[in-house]
Structure 1
């Protein structure tokens, strides 16, 4: 008893320390090995009593008087689950009989029922038994308590005797992990081929108490879910998902999660929606601000069908061809103000909304330019001439009406002097007029200057009047800044 108590205490300690894992079915761990101590009660073979039940069950727990217990490991068994609650097992046991109960009603010291307990000396007991066991654990839907019934047969060596037995039995196992339990069992080992007389029948009760360990289940990914029940056997997962992982913890298994590494919504297949517009961030061109599905999650404040991020006027509706801005055309020339270089003066689209240079304007430029005078032989304006500044102002006023037109300021001389000197003088005088216009606000990109010396006379150089006409400045229209680009 001392050793049995120690074993029970050890088992209870293990039960207290073992993790409370969910209990797997025997099909997951088909093999089991058990070992512990056994007790042999020979009282059942004495024949004392008025009937079978009186003989066998009148004193079932007379441990001190009738049980033979070997104070060490005294049985070992192995079994395999075969399905539907049934398992097949084989067990070997050893004991030493020091309390042999026999029926001797006339012997001194009998117990009043004719039973006499003697110590037969060095009487060894060996048994090997095969068992078919049925477990009720699945039937009662318990994860801890596992009652069972068994039937089987075996062969027993009892001292110098040996015989076959039929072994009905019952058991109760307490599982404290999915593979470790405390197993209690009893078998009535009924001798079916005794060599002895009824008075020395060796039918006995054999009781066992010990540990049972299940094994043989395969768990490739080590997640505590056996491969046969694991929908993802090669990657660790969760029991509630049949062994499949949920990396981001959003309740959607990775295999069905379009965004397995980011916590998301079931309605969006596990993807997040930061701005709450019903469009997953991965498909949302504007994930931080609520928008429209038609615009890939981007807002359209003015409702013109153009996403704010692409709308040049996001708060005012306008056509796509105008960048989302309303078309404004102050001068009603058909050219939108934003594209009109002259938004207050009508002009054709071919000239970016600016008016074309008229022949009247060109004639006026010709008159004004020819009235600009220089000091003789120099590129400086004539000293004391009050008309030249007025002429330059008049030219500027004409040019500013044509902001995208290009003009050439051209200088000419008479034939007096060398051609080289005349060429240089004409170039310098043209440049002087151009710079004077730029100083007065004319766009320098609209001007260029050239000198032609005496090569393009408009009158005869043989007379003083002719030479005076040849010494002149001309301004000619040479095109548009956008010529070839519109």
Structure 2
């Protein structure tokens, strides 16, 4: 028993260092103290009579030492589950004379009492210093070497001296269903008086606020901010402070506004120069709707599409470069800044085209015709947006099918030459008409020579 007392004292010291709060804050509890066993309580024949001798102290068996320990775990909503171990010395057993209400106290020779009991407890007034509770459960009790299982129930009260230390008083009725005369352990009531310590609350950051209530459990903080810090001391906790390292204003979520333009520095692209909200706090000196920091011409108003600068007209034709399909060649507004392809131009192209010479029966050029093709290429380049059709024609010599194929191939050969010379392919199309569109008689050599030709036409959109 002396060693048991030392164990309880050691537990008390540990709990004194670690206990901090109660119930959901500190879910674990340990209680220890003295217990008293009263067998008169179980000897009454009527349930109501059980309580008539509740305070008959002469019948109590008390061991003058720490004689019980209880460990329990709070599980929520006022409920907890616990396990109690107790020891005692039985030197008097009270029994009732059958058929009467007379009780006989029998002195015995210090029988050893052991009890192991589990309980489910429900407490009332959880946040009050006065904390009554009820409990039910079961266990096993031995007197010397004889034992019985019991069903238990009872009441108790915790008187909390502080958040983590209470005086606990409890009474538990232990009922065995065996006949009292035959039971190894008689029905009885066991009283407990001791101290209860709550512990087990987690405070990771050590700021005195338990993790379950701490909005910032990893960082030491202040109670008024639910355990969160306020590093810059501006009255706004870091977790709600968009600028936790700089003191600021509530209207800016704790961020400063150095230039006083109503835009927090963290959102202000120009925090030291007052500006406009639509430009993220930057000014617009020329009022062209473009912030100076993004304006390539901050002193002169210009469109956003040109970086805030006025649009140029590189070729001076009165059509701004942004609308000019030919910004480096003078043209007309009607042709979107590109030069007009006149009938005179088409006439010149066809004068060249009619002199293109092909090898006989083939779609390949004779060497002496290359200057003609290059002259045509130069004209095409003067009109970079115009589209043209290259048409091939033949005389009537040979079959219609052969002439059709030859005309198509010769027109395609001219188109390919122009494309290879730098003319965009989508500006040119080619087709062949064979011998179907003569411009002279095919009965003479001169007429046939005129019919073997290439023509250029402007495609109008």
TM-score normalised to structure 1 length:
0.47
Larger Rg: 1
